[in-house]
Amino acid sequence: MRNIILFIRRFFTFFMFLVLQGISWAILVKYSKSHQAVFAEAANEVTGKVSKQYNTVEYYFELKKTNEQLVAEIKRLYDERRSSFEGADSSTQVKLDSMLRDSTHKGFRRFTYLPAKVVNNSVTNENNYITLYRGRLQGVHPDMAVVGPDGIVGRVILASDNYSRVMSLLNHKSNVNAMLKKGYVSGIVEWDGKDPSYVTLRNIPKSADVKRGDTVLTSNISEQLSYPPGIMVGTVTNVAADNAASNFFTIRVKTSTNFYSLQYAYVVQDASWAEQKKLEAQTPKN
């Protein structure tokens, strides 16, 4: 016993080194699995506050770009407004049913958009994260989808009281179900860590008709998280076959969101998400 104590005392520095390494590894492994870490929420609150202070300066330099983004977004929404369209001239037509909408079936609002200020945003790391100034007290929960003025942004992984941390699309772990606008062929969008403006679309079969410039949208399939279907992901810039034997394309997609100048984002609340997850959990996996 005495020898053991002597041994430990002799190599105390080395043991301390091992212990600290062990703690670091434990934090790292736990975080990679579940995005939870010790003091993560408290730390998020503090780093969020510091980032917000920094952002008050940074935002000033981005005002012009942010304005342009917002004007473009308003233009898009004006275009979608019903009063922008002229209906068919009903005086010369015979209509059997003038009821355009089925008012007997009461629809409900599925997606609610909560605006949030981006206070911290990185594009240069291998795994990038975004901090939003909106947290649990304002109704943000983990696994909510985040979209920007031009397209998808990421997914909430951690929410503290007033700040939330978002896993950016520019993250090795962000797998987003996407589809081609032409033909509705579904695939998966991934980031390879090289260029913050480009992501990779996989699992598109070679039978699909893909060309440069085609639009990629979020799919109506939602395995991991619920993006509203039809939100812009990006445009196709390059189509290449995996290899001769493969049946799938590897498609390079330019993201529609400019991650360099992202200042506002919308956290999307999906009213039917909980129900979908509950149902999927009940049914057997195989």
Q: Find, among 188, 173, 267, the residue nearest to 223 by Cα.
A: 188
Residue 170 structure tokens: 């520019």
CB of 35 to other proteins, least distance (A): 10
Distance CA 89, CA 95 (A): 11
Determine the distance from the C-alpha atom of residue 37 to the mean position of all C-alpha atoms in its chain, rounded to a whole number: 21
Q: Which is nearer to other proteins, 47 or 215 (CB)?
A: 47
Nearer to other proteins, 183 or 193 (CB): 193
Cβ atoms of residues 157 and 35 within 8 Å: yes
Strands 152-159 and 164-168 come out as antiparallel
**Closer of 37 and 114 to other proteins (Cβ):** 37
User: Which of residues 67 and 125 has its CB atom nearest to other proteins in the complex?
Assistant: 125
Contact residues for other proteins (CB under 8 A)? 12-13, 16-17, 20-21, 23-29, 31-32, 37-40, 43-44, 46-47, 50, 54, 122-129, 165, 172, 193-196, 260
Q: How far apart are CA 71 and CA 125, in angstroms?
A: 30
Answer whether 161's CB lies under 8 Å from 193's CB. no
* Min separation Cβ 131 and other proteins, Å: 8
Q: For residue 256, give Cα distances in angstroms to 16, 68, 180, 213, 278.
A: 48, 14, 14, 12, 33
CB closer to other proteins, 142 vs 228: 142
Shortest distance, CB of residue 173 to other proteins, whole angstroms?
Answer: 8
Report the alpha-carbon angle 82-85-86, nearest 5.
Answer: 125
How large is the C-alpha radius of gyration of the chain?
24
Q: Judged by CB, which is closer to other proteins: 186, or 261?
A: 261
In whole angstroms, how close is the CB of 269 to other proteins at the nearest point? 23
Structure tokens at 241: 């076959």
Residue 45 · residue 165 · CB < 8 Å? no
Smallest distance, other proteins to C-beta of residue 26, A:
8
- Shortest reach from residue 281's CB to other proteins, in Å: 26
CB of 46 to other proteins, least distance (A): 8
